[in-house]
Amino acid sequence: MLADMTDIRSLLQSKGVVNDGIGSSEWWEEIAKLGTPLLLEDEGLTRKVLFLWRDPQGDETASIAASVLLDVNSITDHHSWTPVCLQRQLGTDVWFGVLEVNSQWRGSYSFIPLERHQLPDVVRERGDDSLIAQRSWWVDVAKQQTFDPLNALPCVQSGWGVSSPLHMPDAPLELGWQEWDEGLLGTVKKDQIKIIDWNSLDLANQRVCWLFSTATGDAPLVVLLDGERWAEPSGTLSVLQYLTDIKHIAPAHYLLISSLDPKTRWQELGCSYLFWSAVVHDLLPRVLDLMALNGQGVTERLVAGQSLGGLSSLYACTYFPQFFSQAISLSGSFWWPNKTLMQDSTVAASFDSLPEGSLAEQIMHNKVDVSQLKIYQNVGVGEGNMCRFNDATYQAIKRKGGNVKFELVHGGHDWLSWRSGLIKGLLFLIPATR
């Protein structure tokens, strides 16, 4: 729900902001000291949040921005021609909007300025009103997203680009990540990260993988899919080292397997037997040989991933149980292999059975055995129909004897949910012995 343009003065007054000279340099300096976005209420299950964006080109007479989309991951509807937009305070460089957000929410947001020819109504007049046209429009404009420079916390890399974090006041504590965001954790030592150049003949491709250890001897091996997302710049390795040092997570070895490109990722993480066969029969032996040179070994193997990686992590355990007996599945794409359920939310909403060929369907019909598996699984309440397919998969694992912990989190299909979920999964699967 967005505020009316005339409400900005009263909104800011509640935060103690002087309303003289809205949009002046002095006014923006005052906003910068407060930091954005601004929480307008102190209590309640939902809170009003004020978002502010400064138009770098000035007011409406100087700027080419005809509208500014407010993209709050998994709150903004990416399938709509009328997503949430900010309003301009006329005669200024100020764009603003208010959303009501659950007090436990954690997720990323960004601003997407549009020129007049990119406005939804203009695009629809030039083309058609189809789902394909809408999706094409959204993918095109999303490339223009920009983070919030007045947000004091570190930016995050989202699926569309660089975003800013929104941590609502009642969001669960993030072990390790709060320290990272506050700049309290240093980078890991370079000799802890070993680069592996994996040239796979079976997959007919070549990629970089990384091996990182918080253990000096034998320990669990955690395979992280989409390894480039979890690599050192993300802060993940520093958080893992910190939580190991303070004895929350057991010492472990982490193998980060990168995804090459969207097309290859789709092929490899969409329940590909060929991919996992190459991992277990080609990559893992190389990793074990490298570890042996340092007197290190593997006691057990886990696999973790998000989205398609969350699907693939469970697949690895069900089809290669002799190698993987534990998995962390975050926002798993359990609509697979029915792409329509992912692409068309209206079809997914009316779908009332297990997708044919899905892992849940295979588990329920005893095509694969999950009775020896231990799984951590979560999905965000903002992920719509993904919640149903994740719940169906959880129920199938549980009914067939698997040890599974399932959590709904107040977030979306979002890095900020996944980074918390990875830690929660490791705390469940490999907690430190105290």
| Rg of the Cα atoms in the chain | 23
> Which H or E run includes 276?
helix 273-278
Q: Is the pTM of this model over 0.75?
A: yes
The three-state DSSP-derived secondary structure of 70-135 is EEECCCCCCCCCCCCECEECCCCCEEEEEEEEECCCEEEEEEEEECHHHCHHHHHHHCCCCHHHHH
Q: Which of 148, 23, 25, 26 is nearest to 90 (CA)?
A: 23
pLDDT in tens, the chain (434 residues): 444 444 677 788 777 777 778 999 999 999 999 999 999 988 889 999 999 999 999 999 999 999 999 999 988 888 888 888 999 999 999 999 999 999 999 999 999 999 999 999 999 988 888 888 988 999 999 999 999 999 999 999 876 789 999 999 999 999 999 999 999 998 998 888 999 999 999 999 999 999 999 999 999 999 999 999 999 889 999 999 999 999 999 999 999 999 999 999 999 999 999 999 999 999 999 999 999 999 999 999 999 999 999 999 999 999 999 999 999 999 999 999 988 877 777 777 777 778 899 999 999 999 999 999 999 999 999 999 999 999 999 999 999 999 999 999 999 999 999 999 999 999 999 999 85
> Which H or E run includes 229?
helix 227-230
Main-chain phi, psi angles of 214, to 5 degrees = -105, 5
> What structural domains and CATH numbers belong to the chain?
5-167 (2.60.40.10), 177-429 (3.40.50.1820)
3-state secondary structure of 162: strand
Q: Which residue has the tokens 């967005």?
A: 2
Residue 275 near residue 268 (C-beta atoms within 8 A): yes
